[in-house]
Amino acid sequence: MTTEFELSCATCGGDLTRRTVSGDVLGVDIAETVPVAECVDCGGWYVPERTLDRVQ
């Protein structure tokens, strides 16, 4: 199965890299950190399905 980290950025086509952020950065009240996919070129963020499941 392809993950968000293997896709290209929808905005600029750049590579995505794994970054860990706190829940408050995403605007949710959780104590743990969660992974997001961040574009190395434009800085765009994508929230993986697994992260969405954890913060809902």
Q: Where are the domains of the chain?
A: 4-55
- pLDDT category at 3 given cuts 50, 70, 90 is confident
- CA of 16: how far to CAs of 9, 30, 35, in Å? 6, 24, 12
Q: How far apart are the first and last CA of the chain?
A: 22
Is the model's pLDDT at 1 over the cut of 80? Answer: no
If you classify domain 4-55 with CATH, what class do you get? mainly beta
In this predicted structure, what is the pLDDT of residue 25?
83
pLDDT per position as a tens digit, 6-42: 999 999 999 999 999 988 888 888 888 889 999 999 9
Task: Please compute, for residue 39, the number of CA atoms within 13 A of its CA located in the half-sphere on the CB side.
Answer: 14
Higher-confidence residue of 52 and 20: namely 20
pLDDT at 15: 96
> Could you give the C-alpha distances from 4 to 31, 41, 53, in angstroms and in order?
23, 16, 14
Tokens of 37: 């996919």
